[in-house]
Chains A and B, each alone.
Chain A
Amino acid sequence: NAGVTQTPKFQVLKTGQSMTLQCAQDMNHEYMSWYRQDPGMGLRLIHYSVGAGITDQGEVPNGYNVSRSTTEDFPLRLLSAAPSQTSVYFCASRPLAQILAGDTEAFFGQGTRLTVV
């Protein structure tokens, strides 16, 4: 099982550049989310989606866009990269039915380490 796959693993951007972080899962999970991980701040939710065509903002959405055209894919777009977006980004998925039942764990990708210079 591939689980949750993120690409690329590492990326260096110049300030002002744009890019898309890819996330794909093969578990048919409805719920997908993006987190950023910063030292001393844990994981903070950027955006999430409860299914194809439905997205919503998390705790720190500014500077990021998402879309969900298929169940499998949930790309995260940086519109104009800033040094403050230097972070490790994790994509996660969860099955919605289990979320509603209050019984679910999140499955994480390997992460993308992004540096903005």
Chain B
Amino acid sequence: AQSVSQHNHHVILSEAASLELGCNYSYGGTVNLFWYVQYPGQHLQLLLKYFSGDPLVKGIKGFEAEFIKSKFSFNLRKPSVQWSDTAEYFCAVTPTGGGNKLTFGTGTQLKVEL
């Protein structure tokens, strides 16, 4: 079974600072990878996803993530965060080609201060 680790549980940044949130997964085969965001009081929304091809994927709101297969990692980055990026971020994985179980990491709470 697959698993996902997010090592940063709480991150506090000032506006305009750069962001990198770590995500590592464990699975013996190929995977599809996702980052979801949950703004305060709202449901989870997809930020970006990786299925195949270019390992650097770009999502909404200036976010990007890089899949490094050798490191089993899919870190989320943003060059300059805004106060409105305050949210909880979840990394998720599902096996490629028919895996119906989406496994989430424990989440990273990001607070951006003015």
Contacts and interface: CB of A to CB of B under 8 A. Distances in A.
Interface residues of B, number: 25
B90 A105 contact: no
Interface string A1-37: 0001000000000000000000000000001010100
Contacts of A100: 97-98
B34 A48 contact: no
Contacts of B102: 33, 45, 92, 94, 106
Given A48-B100, A108-B44, A42 B49 contact: no
A43 interface: yes
A111 B44 CA distance: 9
Nearest to B46: A105
Given A99-B98, A100-B98, A108-B44, A42 B107 contact: yes
B71 interface: no
Identify which of B42, B105, B106 gathers the most chain A CB atoms within 10 Å of its CB: B106
A85 interface: no
A35 B92 CA distance: 13
21 contacts: A40-B9, A41-B106, A42-B4, A42-B90, A42-B104, A42-B105, A58-B101, A92-B44, A94-B102, A99-B100, A101-B97, A102-B32, A102-B51, A102-B96, A102-B97, A102-B98, A103-B32, A103-B51, A106-B46, A108-B44, A111-B43
Closest 7 CB pairs of A and B: A42-B106, A43-B104, A108-B43, A108-B44, A105-B46, A42-B104, A102-B96
Interface of B: 4, 6, 9, 32, 34, 42-46, 49, 51, 90, 96-107
